């Protein structure tokens, strides 16, 4: 008996050693999640399962986004569109009485794949910020189309008639069953994405992120690789949409709002990009944070916001980055505290110094402005003076110059009149002599 | 679709375009000079509107409130720059998006805490109330003309500042190649602060001016932020001229689309189909425009050299 146990343990250890750190972390996470349904009566009941489902679905969406951000270097700010399109695809099929697995799931996947292909064909041509913006624009387009889908609820959203039927049975209605289905699909997505990133395709994609020019030089065209990654990520996120629609039995345009896309980016970064288990941890952390903070206060976003800023400023690499540093013993808790304290001290000292600097600069600026204004005024005064003086002078000159001209005119008039008189007198004289 | 309605909508579109330009100008400068994605720019527009309402309550005069809003939004912008944004200039765009997204969450909620979630209002000043007749049966509010005039004046001022002052020259140089400007001995940090403060002030000014025609509510900045991003991407990031032309384009197309898309579609489609597709098409019009522009010219209409 002990021998058998030992064999099993040895085999397990051997298996574990074959796994990468990423896979071990993800495995542990999935194991914890799998234990949730049996433990839920002790831990707080069905509510916990609902939170768990939400976290897993968002984790699945975040994994698909990680394929774009982490491997492809493409920061999509419209990824939530696929979440909504998946949910709408299945929901619209269901509202026509076609809510079966054989129709609803392909509808969800095909709709998101088509949208990814159509928008990706344009978006992938752009780089960097332009890519962020154009995906945002496409996300907004999908959002507005959804709000104007009057036959399917428009702004108010679409209530599903029920969860998707699996071969005519209501298999997904069972809470535990649905939880495990979601878990299974999330695991599948994790395996798919980590395999993809490790494959030749993924290596080309990462190479393109590092240096597009070099990849082109050794004969890889960026466009097809990027577009394929975009379509795969979109379709995977459509699967997440299918699940979240089933989870809520409802879909609304709010699923596609741009802040939701922002939240997906937050999950990926909070967890740590560059790893595949990171996005799952990020989604879990985000959902938990949301739950805990929204219980503390209705203004929980006012706490979450600064928290995000702090994560960006001080915790580069996210949670996975922290785990990695800790694993390599770079950072013990004491060291972490010390470094945080040092940073805080530096920041406060820097702030004082900066305030003094700002005061000095603004004082100098004010003085400079004053002198400059003075100089401008002096220059203008000279100009004005000259100009006015010249004007007066020319007026005077004009008056003076006009006088001889007038006398000359008068003289000429006089002589004209005189000669006319003389002429008339001569004419009269001649007429008399006749 | 009468001629009068058309003229009114074109004027409305131009007015929206000029407002968009005020917001987009700051965004495109910040972006062009510092290579920094500031999602929180829309929140600064919202803060401008809230400040204007508050100063109106305090002083009772719209002109005084706008005059006070300008320095106040400048100070707020500088404070945000010192506390958060200046630590992000060197970072990846992804991190900038995340941090400024956090700032949006905080400020939207903060505004709700301070001023409440209910929409606020401020009347147009008496001097600018009423309307003027433009043609037979068409009167147009004076205040909207005032917005256009003020916006155009600011645009002209900005143009002069950017094209023919020393600071403007540095800003243009920074948009083309910031490290080189820094290497030539210009204090790039101060330049960044100046540009950022001016951008915040422009956004605040736009926010203060729309208060009499829109209601002030949390989240009002988000809508205009997205529009402003569309504008700067169409115009070419970093280009003031591009932002101006794109802003007018976007303003007119969006306004006309919303008023006439349904009627125009009715010419080709059945009335019920047109009623469904019309509004969707109208909301999508500017995004379609952006997609087309980016598909043809991936760096916008007027690309600045550094980002082309």
Which CATH number fits the domain that encloses residue A37? 1.10.3470
Average pLDDT, chain A: 85
Q: In angstroms, rounded to a whole number, what is the distance separating the alpha carbons of residues A239 and A110? A: 10
Whether B304 has a pLDDT exceeding 90, the answer reads no
Point out the residue among A127, A132, A299 whose CB comes nearest to the CB of B112: A299
Pull the structure tokens for residue A420.
Answer: 């006319």
Q: How far does A56 lie from chain B, in Å, by closest CA?
A: 22
Among candidates A194, A219, A196, A193, which has minimal Cα distance to A208?
A219
Strand partners, B120: B216
Q: Which of A71, A119, A131, A133 is the best substitution to test chain B (most B C-beta atoms within 10 A)?
A: A133
Point out the residue among A125, A145, A301 whose CB comes nearest to the CB of B298: A125
Q: How many domains does chain A have?
A: 2
Pull the structure tokens for residue A48.
Answer: 């916990």
Which of the 8 DSSP states describes residue A410? H
Task: Tell me if A150 and B99 make a contact (CB, 8 A cut-off).
Answer: no
Element spanning A90, H or E: helix A80-95
Among candidates B128, B142, B166, B157, which has minimal Cα distance to B22?
B157
What is the reported pLDDT for A57? 94
Q: Are residues A310 and A408 located together in one domain of the fold?
A: no
Q: Are A271 and A319 in contact (CB under 8 A)?
A: yes
In a domain, A346, yes or no: no
What is the reported pLDDT for A332? 65
Strand partners, A200: none
DSSP reduced 3-state for A169? strand
What is the reported pLDDT for B186? 85
Q: Are residues A297 and A209 located together in one domain of the fold?
A: yes
Element spanning B29, H or E: helix B3-34
Of chain B, the percentage scoring pLDDT greater than 90 comes to 22
- For range A264-273, the mean pLDDT: 88
Task: Tell me if B102 and A150 make a contact (CB, 8 A cut-off).
Answer: no
Task: Tell me if A308 and B190 make a contact (CB, 8 A cut-off).
Answer: no
Average pLDDT, chain B: 85
Q: Are residues A244 and A371 located together in one domain of the fold?
A: no
DSSP reduced 3-state for A206? helix
In a domain, A378, yes or no: yes
Q: Where are the alpha helices (DSSP H) in A199-317?
A: 200-210, 212-217, 222-248, 258-271, 277-296, 301-314
For the CA atoms of chain B, what is the radius of gyration? 20
Task: Tell me if A265 and B280 make a contact (CB, 8 A cut-off).
Answer: no
What is the reported pLDDT for A423? 84
Q: Are residues A238 and A379 located together in one domain of the fold?
A: no
Please state the φ and ψ torsions of residue A211, each to the nearest 5 degrees. Answer: -155, 105
Whether B1 has a pLDDT exceeding 60, the answer reads no
Please state the φ and ψ torsions of residue A279, each to the nearest 5 degrees. Answer: -55, -35
Q: Are residues A215 and A118 located together in one domain of the fold?
A: yes
Shortest CA distance from B295: residue in chain A: A122
Question: Which residue would you say has higher pLDDT here, A131 or A325?
Answer: A131
Task: Decide which of A331, A346, A370 is a domain's last residue.
Answer: A331
What is the reported pLDDT for B307? 43
Task: Decide which of A331, A346, A369 is a domain's last residue.
Answer: A331
Q: Are residues A218 and A295 located together in one domain of the fold?
A: yes
Residues in chain A with CB shorter than 8 Å from the CB of B224 are none
Q: Are residues A290 and A434 located together in one domain of the fold?
A: no
Interface residue A4 vs chain B (CB under 8 A): no
Of chain A, the percentage scoring pLDDT greater than 90 comes to 29
Question: Which residue would you say has higher pLDDT here, A278 or A410?
Answer: A278
Whether A234 has a pLDDT exceeding 90, the answer reads yes
Q: Which of B85, B166, B272, B284 is the best substitution to test chain A (most A C-beta atoms within 10 A)?
A: B284
Residues in chain B with CB shorter than 8 Å from the CB of A77 are 97
Most confidently modeled range among A22-26, A253-257, B131-135, B274-278: A253-257
Q: Are A280 and A186 in contact (CB under 8 A)?
A: yes
Point out the residue among A137, A151, A308 whose CB comes nearest to the CB of B102: A308
Point out the residue among A129, A140, A301 whose CB comes nearest to the CB of B108: A301
Among candidates A133, A129, A89, which has minimal Cα distance to A111?
A89
Whether A243 has a pLDDT exceeding 90, the answer reads yes
Interface residue A148 vs chain B (CB under 8 A): yes
Q: In angstroms, rounded to a whole number, what is the distance separating the alpha carbons of residues A2 and A6? A: 6
Residues in chain A with CB shorter than 8 Å from the CB of B81 are none
Task: Tell me if B97 and A308 make a contact (CB, 8 A cut-off).
Answer: no
Q: In angstroms, rounded to a whole number, what is the distance separating the alpha carbons of residues A64 and A192? A: 10
Interface residue A361 vs chain B (CB under 8 A): yes
Please state the φ and ψ torsions of residue A276, each to the nearest 5 degrees. Answer: -100, -25
Strand partners, B260: none
Chain A 111-130, CB below 8 Å of chain B: which residues? 122, 125-130
Shortest CA distance from A265: residue in chain B: B98
In a domain, A354, yes or no: no
Q: In angstroms, rounded to a whole number, what is the distance separating the alpha carbons of residues A64 and A242? A: 14
Pull the structure tokens for residue A374.
Answer: 């003075």
Whether A152 has a pLDDT exceeding 80, the answer reads yes
Q: Are residues A326 and A387 located together in one domain of the fold?
A: no
pLDDT tens for A52-85 read 999 999 999 999 999 999 888 899 999 999 999 9
Would you call B138 exposed, middle or buried from its count of C-beta atoms within 10 A (0-12, 13-18, 19+)? Answer: middle
- For range A216-221, the mean pLDDT: 90
Look up the domain containing A23 and give its range: 18-331
Residues 6+ apart with CB under 8 A from A383: none
In a domain, A11, yes or no: no
In a domain, A12, yes or no: no
Q: Are residues A274 and A403 located together in one domain of the fold?
A: no
What is the reported pLDDT for A232? 95
Whether B265 has a pLDDT exceeding 80, the answer reads no
What is the reported pLDDT for A308? 84
Q: In angstroms, rounded to a whole number, what is the distance separating the alpha carbons of residues B228 and B31? A: 12
Q: Which of B105, B107, B307 is the best substitution to test chain A (most A C-beta atoms within 10 A)?
A: B105
Task: Provide the 10 A C-beta neighbour count for residue B112.
Answer: 18
Among candidates A205, A181, A159, which has minimal Cα distance to A60?
A181
pLDDT tens for A369-387 read 788 778 777 777 777 777 7
- For range B59-84, the mean pLDDT: 90
Q: How far does A318 lie from chain B, in Å, by closest CA?
A: 11
Spell out the CATH class of B11-119+139-307.
mainly alpha
Residues in chain B with CB shorter than 8 Å from the CB of A308 are 98-99, 101-102, 105
Residues 6+ apart with CB under 8 A from A388: none
What is the reported pLDDT for A330? 60
In a domain, A26, yes or no: yes
A434 band by pLDDT with thresholds 50, 70 and 90? low
Question: Which residue would you say has higher pLDDT here, A372 or A259?
Answer: A259
Please state the φ and ψ torsions of residue B214, each to the nearest 5 degrees. Answer: -125, 160
Distances (CA, A) of A368 to A15, A372, B44, B182: 73, 6, 29, 22
In a domain, A348, yes or no: no
What is the reported pLDDT for A182? 92
Q: Are B129 and B143 in contact (CB under 8 A)?
A: yes
CA A40 from chain centre, in angstroms, equals: 36
What is the reported pLDDT for A331? 60
Question: Which residue would you say has higher pLDDT here, B226 or B131?
Answer: B226
Lowest mean pLDDT, pick from A319-323, A430-434, B282-286: A430-434
Model's pTM, two decimal places?
A: 0.78
Among candidates B175, B243, B221, which has minimal Cα distance to B40?
B221
B194 band by pLDDT with thresholds 50, 70 and 90? confident
What is the reported pLDDT for B308? 36
Q: How far does B276 lie from chain A, in Å, by closest CA?
A: 7
Count of CB pairs separated by less than 8 Å, A with B: 136
Residues 6+ apart with CB under 8 A from B179: none
Shortest CA distance from B94: residue in chain A: A75
Q: In angstroms, rounded to a whole number, what is the distance separating the alpha carbons of residues A304 and B103? A: 9
Residues in chain B with CB shorter than 8 Å from the CB of A126 are 294, 298
Pull the structure tokens for residue B71.
Answer: 């320095």
Strand partners, B138: B135
What is the reported pLDDT for A341? 78
Q: Are residues A178 and A321 located together in one domain of the fold?
A: yes
Residues in chain A with CB shorter than 8 Å from the CB of B93 are 75, 128-129, 132
Among candidates A285, A33, A260, which has minimal Cα distance to A293?
A285
Among candidates A251, A89, A68, which has minimal Cα distance to A155?
A251
Whether A421 has a pLDDT exceeding 60, the answer reads yes
Task: Tell me if A75 and B97 make a contact (CB, 8 A cut-off).
Answer: yes
What is the reported pLDDT for A141? 86
What is the reported pLDDT for B95? 84
Q: Which of A122, A123, A128, A134 is the best substitution to test chain B (most B C-beta atoms within 10 A)?
A: A134
Q: Are residues A72 and A174 located together in one domain of the fold?
A: yes
Q: In angstroms, rounded to a whole number, what is the distance separating the alpha carbons of residues B215 and B119? A: 6
Question: Which residue would you say has higher pLDDT here, B175 or B89?
Answer: B89
Whether B51 has a pLDDT exceeding 90, the answer reads yes
The length of chain B in residues reads 308
What is the reported pLDDT for A154? 80
- For range A181-186, the mean pLDDT: 93
- For range B218-229, the mean pLDDT: 86
Would you call A306 exposed, middle or buried from its count of C-beta atoms within 10 A (0-12, 13-18, 19+)? Answer: middle
Task: Tell me if B284 and A145 make a contact (CB, 8 A cut-off).
Answer: yes
List chain B domain ranges: 11-119+139-307
Q: In angstroms, rounded to a whole number, what is the distance separating the alpha carbons of residues A81 and A186? A: 19
Q: Are residues A281 and A135 located together in one domain of the fold?
A: yes
């Amino acid at each position: 008996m002990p021998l058998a146990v030992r064999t099993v343990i040895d085999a397990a250890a051997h298996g574990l050693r074959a796994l990468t750190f990423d896979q071990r972390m993800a495995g542990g996470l999935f194991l914890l999640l799998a234990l949730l349904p049996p433990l839920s009566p002790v831990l707080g009941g069905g509510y916990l399962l609902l939170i768990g489902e939400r976290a897993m679905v968002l984790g699945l969406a975040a994994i698909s986004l990680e394929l774009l951000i982490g491997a492809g270097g493409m920061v999509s700010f419209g990824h939530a569109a696929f979440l909504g399109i998946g949910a709408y695809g299945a929901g619209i099929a269901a509202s026509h009485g076609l809510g079966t697995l054989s129709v609803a799931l392909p509808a969800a996947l095909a709709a998101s794949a088509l949208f990814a292909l159509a928008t990706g064909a344009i978006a992938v041509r752009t780089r960097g910020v332009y890519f962020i913006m154009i995906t945002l624009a496409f996300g907004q387009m999908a959002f507005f189309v959804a709000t104007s889908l009057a036959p399917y609820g428009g702004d108010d959203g679409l209530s599903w008639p029920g969860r998707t039927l699996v071969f005519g049975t209501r298999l997904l209605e069972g809470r535990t069953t649905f939880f495990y289905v979601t878990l299974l699909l999330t695991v599948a997505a994790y395996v798919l994405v980590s395999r993809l990133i490790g494959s030749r395709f993924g290596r080309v994609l990462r190479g393109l992120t590092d240096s597009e020019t070099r990849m082109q030089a050794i004969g890889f065209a960026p466009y097809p690789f990027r577009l394929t990654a975009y379509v795969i990520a979109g379709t995977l996120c459509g699967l997440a949409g299918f699940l979240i629609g089933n989870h809520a039995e409802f879909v609304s345009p709010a699923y596609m709002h741009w802040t939701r896309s922002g939240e997906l980016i937050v999950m990926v970064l909070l967890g740590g990009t560059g790893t595949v288990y990171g996005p799952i941890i990020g989604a879990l952390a985000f959902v938990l944070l949301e739950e805990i903070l929204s219980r503390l206060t209705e203004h929980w976003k006012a706490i979450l916001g600064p928290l995000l800023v702090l994560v960006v400023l001080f915790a580069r690499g996210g949670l996975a980055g922290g785990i990695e540093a800790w694993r390599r013993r770079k950072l013990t808790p004491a060291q972490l505290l010390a470094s945080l304290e040092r940073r805080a001290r530096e920041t406060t000292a820097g702030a004082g110094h900066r305030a003094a600097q700002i005061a000095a600069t603004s004082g100098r600026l004010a003085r400079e402005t004053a002198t400059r204004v003075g100089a401008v005024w002096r220059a203008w005064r000279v100009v004005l003076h000259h100009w006015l003086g010249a004007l007066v002078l020319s007026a005077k000159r004009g008056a003076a110059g006009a006088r001889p001209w007038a006398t000359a005119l008068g003289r000429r008039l006089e002589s004209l009149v005189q000669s006319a008189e003389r002429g008339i007198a001569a004419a009269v004289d001649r007429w008399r002599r006749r | 679709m009468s001629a009068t309605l058309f003229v009114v909508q074109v004027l409305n579109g131009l007015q929206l375009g000029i407002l968009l330009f005020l917001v987009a100008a700051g965004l495109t400068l910040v972006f062009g000079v510092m290579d920094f994605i500031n999602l929180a720019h829309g929140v600064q527009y919202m803060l401008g509107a809230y400040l204007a309402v508050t100063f109106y309550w305090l002083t009772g005069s719209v002109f005084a409130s706008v005059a006070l809003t300008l320095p106040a939004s400048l100070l707020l912008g500088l404070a945000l720059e010192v506390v958060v944004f200046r630590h992000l200039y060197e970072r990846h765009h992804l991190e900038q998006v995340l941090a400024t997204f956090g700032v949006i969450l905080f400020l939207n909620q903060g505004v709700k805490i301070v001023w409440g979630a209910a929409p606020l209002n401020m009347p147009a000043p008496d001097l600018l109330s009423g309307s003027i007749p433009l043609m037979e049966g068409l009167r147009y509010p004076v205040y909207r003309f005032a917005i256009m005039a003020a916006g155009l004046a600011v645009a002209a001022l900005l143009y002069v500042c950017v094209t023919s002052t020393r600071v403007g020259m540095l800003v243009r140089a920074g948009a083309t190649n910031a490290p080189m400007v820094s290497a030539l001995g210009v204090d790039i940090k101060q330049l960044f602060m100046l540009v950022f403060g001016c951008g915040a002030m422009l956004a605040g000014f736009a926010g203060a001016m729309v208060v009499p025609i829109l209601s002030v509510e949390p989240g009002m900045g988000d809508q205009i932020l997205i529009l402003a991003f569309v504008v700067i991407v169409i115009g070419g990031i970093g280009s003031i001229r591009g932002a101006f032309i794109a802003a007018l384009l976007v303003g007119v197309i969006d306004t006309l689309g919303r008023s006439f898309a349904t009627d125009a579609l009715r010419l080709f489609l059945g009335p019920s189909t047109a009623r469904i597709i019309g509004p969707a098409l109208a909301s999508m019009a500017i995004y379609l425009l952006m997609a087309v522009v980016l598909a043809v010219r991936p760096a916008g209409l007027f690309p600045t050299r550094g980002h082309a």
